[in-house]
Chain A
Amino acid sequence: MSTNIVIIDYGMGNLRSVQKAFEKVGYSATITRDHALIKEASHIVLPGVGAFGDAMKNLNSLGLSDLLHVEILEHKKLFLGICLGMQLIAEKGYEFGEHQGLGWIENAKVIRFEESALKIPHVGWNEMNFHNPSILFKEIPDHSNFYFVHSYYFEAPSTYAIGQCDYGHSFVCAIQKSNIFATQFHPEKSQTHGLQIIKNFAQLTKESLC
């Protein structure tokens, strides 16, 4: 199956940034909410800037939650969640109340950084330290800098953690669970290393994961 990348349009933020990052590394990507197009895709990207509750509400009302469950969990399509798109695959999110997430990572929840000496949101360039090895980080040096911007973080057992970051405490900033990849940072906004991650994801095939 040839590479067919779709970026899910659910009314939450920086879709165009993600699309042009794919273009920069030589791939076209379609921004869409059309179920037919999403069913034809080989690679599904869920970006997102915004609040957890609104995002889930949009995904649900557009019928995308159910569709993504089928395409990602059953058909095992390649998935990349970015920032809010990573947070949404947790079981629960606690931004402005408690919300049900897509629930693809067991025992994962999205909680706010504790008020402390550190400023919130965690915004800016920070280092990612490798945890479990992942094909997503081909040609990326350990401890590279990526662009983060978030007030809530992904709390989960480190089973699927491929990258960790330190902000007051260590937290999971990148995960891989078989065909499901996600980063808390924004690869599309992280210049050279970020574009490399976008490229690595685009180059993946279902077969390459086996």
Chain B
Amino acid sequence: MLKHRIIPCVLLKDWQLVKSIQFGSFRTIGHPTATVRVYNARNVDELIVLDIDASLNNEPINTEIITDMANECFMPLTIGGGIKTIEDVYTVLGAGADKVSINSEAIKRPSFIKEIATIFGSQCVVCSIDIKKVDGKYKVFTKKNGVLDIDPLALAKEYENQGGGEILLTSVDREGTTLGYDSELLKLFATTLHIPIIINGGMGKPEHGVEALQNGADALAAAYIFHFTQYTPLMIKEELKTHHYPVRLS
């Protein structure tokens, strides 16, 4: 049976891995390669790293650090941040990533998803959508441009139609809060989309993971819980197993 995945999702900033709180303040997690080595030893199922220097400051994609991380990563590695062209995808995969996460460029140009999927396959494309609730409505959010008047569910459906492989769904409001995933948001997406959903933002204890799977998530992304609480990926998996969800324990 297919296992539910536990995926650390961290940011790359100034050559360090960091964790943000509601897309605002940053806390340092550690040196990229050392951190990846720890994740690898802890048998997490995948790793997502988003390069915010590349996405926010238009710096070139940091292939040197991607290569260093990939060298320590014997599990799937997804890299995002600043990927705007097919050339960028070649660069990131060439540095050792297995998948790319696409966000801003696809908002401007959803057909970019299709371009990537046609060349590299759908499984290579993680479509990342950051969402903020404004006046009771979910809106697409980017750190660069703030809240956009775009319906995130319609955008996600468009990505699915364009051949996106997975959706990385991040609640900006919950991110780094440990309040739990946004169940309402998750249910809305899970009942509509057919491609796997990686829910992100808010896991503070293993029970939040159980709740997310009950609400239709396929995989759980998190960062805060792994670095600033007593919980380990294994503890989360054991909690999921107690609730009869298939997980990979070895």
A119 touches B96 (CB 8 A): no
Which chain B residues lie closer than 8 Å to A188 at the CB level?
Answer: 74
Report the minimum CB–CB distance from A31 to chain B (whole Å).
Answer: 10
Which chain A residues lie closer than 8 Å to B120 at the CB level?
Answer: 12-13, 49-51
Which chain A residues lie closer than 8 Å to B218 at the CB level?
Answer: 119, 124
Report the minimum CB–CB distance from A72 to chain B (whole Å).
Answer: 24
Q: Check A150/B74 contact, CB under 8 A, given A14-B96, A16-B96, A17-B96.
A: no
Q: Could you tell me the dominant secondary structure of chain A's interface residues?
A: mixed
Residue in A16, A121, A124, A192 whose CB lies within 8 Å of B70: A16
Q: Is B61 an interface residue (CB 8 A)?
A: no
B122 touches A20 (CB 8 A): no
B45 touches A125 (CB 8 A): yes
B74 touches A189 (CB 8 A): yes
Residue in B70, B75, B94, B98 whose CB lies within 8 Å of A191: B75
A151 touches B219 (CB 8 A): no
A115 touches B194 (CB 8 A): yes
Count: A-B pairs, CB below 8 Å: 112
Q: Is A120 an interface residue (CB 8 A)?
A: yes
B74 touches A84 (CB 8 A): no
Number of interface residues of B (CB under 8 A): 38
Which chain B residues lie closer than 8 Å to A122 at the CB level?
Answer: 2
Query: Which residues of chain A (165-201) have a CB below 8 Å from chain B?
Result: 166-167, 186, 188-192, 194-195
Most buried by A among B1, B2, B67, B248: B2
Please, how many angstroms separate the alpha-carbon atoms of A51 and B40 in the complex? 29
A149 touches B5 (CB 8 A): no
B71 touches A20 (CB 8 A): yes
Q: Mark B193-219, 1 if CB is under 8 A from A, else 0.
A: 011100000000000000000000011
Report the minimum CB–CB distance from A145 to chain B (whole Å).
Answer: 5
Please, how many angstroms separate the alpha-carbon atoms of A1 and B127 in the complex? 47
Which chain B residues lie closer than 8 Å to A50 at the CB level?
Answer: 119-121, 124
28 contacts across the A-B interface (CB closer than 8 A): A13-B124, A16-B70, A17-B98, A20-B71, A21-B74, A24-B74, A49-B93, A51-B120, A51-B121, A119-B196, A120-B195, A121-B121, A121-B122, A121-B123, A121-B195, A121-B196, A122-B2, A124-B219, A125-B45, A126-B2, A126-B3, A149-B123, A151-B121, A166-B1, A167-B2, A188-B74, A191-B40, A191-B75
B residues with a Cβ closer than 8 A to A are: 1-5, 40, 43, 45, 67, 70-71, 74-76, 93-99, 117-124, 165-166, 194-196, 218-219, 248, 250
Those 5 A-B pairs whose CB atoms lie nearest each other, nearest first: A125-B3, A149-B123, A121-B123, A125-B248, A16-B96
- Known A14-B96, A16-B96, A150-B121; further 15 A-B contacts with Cβ < 8 A: A13-B120, A14-B93, A16-B67, A49-B98, A51-B117, A95-B121, A121-B121, A121-B123, A125-B5, A145-B250, A149-B165, A151-B121, A186-B98, A189-B75, A191-B40
A residues with a Cβ closer than 8 A to B are: 12-14, 16-17, 20-21, 24, 49-51, 54, 84, 95-96, 115, 119-127, 145, 147, 149-151, 166-167, 186, 188-192, 194-195
